[in-house]
Amino acid sequence: MSAPFRTPHPESTPTDRTLFRVNPMSYAVIAIFVVAIVWPVTAYPVALGWLVLLPAGFAWWVARTRTRVDEDGVHLSSWRSRSSVPWDRVKGVMFPKNGFARLVTTSEDSLPMGGVSFHDLPRLSEASRGRIRDPYSAARTDEPA
């Protein structure tokens, strides 16, 4: 007996639509970096042994950085801290030129939203149930057919 066919979920449409993570392809970069430092570290372990901390630290950052959106608010997690912002304290989202989106609170604090970039705006709007608006999808629905 064979298993029923399931359509694959590409990385751009994850199964959990409320969780935003750093792109998993970052682990490939970590693997390439490990391969690049193997020879120098094995040749000079005393002088260059500390280099193994760099890919380990980057892997820790990739694994810990994420944003979850639910009915209670926005839950932010980074490599060093976790915080939750209820919806009544959310003022909006800012997209800087480089890096992840930033959550702006009513007290004008700007918190990094790990794993959320500009192309995630439609999914972010859907996960927040319209609390964070996607102006581009609203413009598409207003256009006559």
Q: What is the DSSP letter of 24?
A: T
CATH 2.30.29 for domain 19-134: yes
How confident is residue 135, by pLDDT bands cut at 50, 70 and 90? confident
Higher-pLDDT residue of 126 and 5 is 126
pTM: 0.75
Per-residue 3-state assignment (H helix, E strand, C coil) for 36-69: HHHHHHHHCHHHHHHHHHHHHHHHHHHHHCEEEE
Q: Whole-angstrom Cα distance, residue 68 to residue 52?
A: 31
Q: Could you report the per-residue pLDDT of 67-78, keeping only the tens digit for each?
A: 999 999 999 999
- In the chain, the percentage of residues whose pLDDT exceeds 90 is 62
The pLDDT, as a whole number, for residue 18 is 87
- In the chain, the percentage of residues whose pLDDT exceeds 70 is 83
Q: What is the mean pLDDT of residues 107-127?
A: 91
The pLDDT, as a whole number, for residue 5 is 60
Residue 44, classified by CB atoms within 10 Å of its CB into exposed (0-12), middle (13-18) or buried (19+), is exposed
Question: Are 123 and 19 spatial neighbours (Cβ–Cβ below 8 Å)?
Answer: no
The pLDDT, as a whole number, for residue 39 is 94
The pLDDT, as a whole number, for residue 55 is 96
Give the closest residue to 79 by CA, choosing from 93, 90, 63: 63
What's the Rg (C-alpha) of the chain? 20
What is the β-pairing status of strands 82-86 and 73-77?
A: antiparallel
pLDDT surpassing 90 at residue 26:
yes
Q: What is the mean pLDDT of residues 78-98?
A: 92
The pLDDT, as a whole number, for residue 136 is 78
Q: Whole-angstrom Cα distance, residue 116 to residue 19?
A: 9
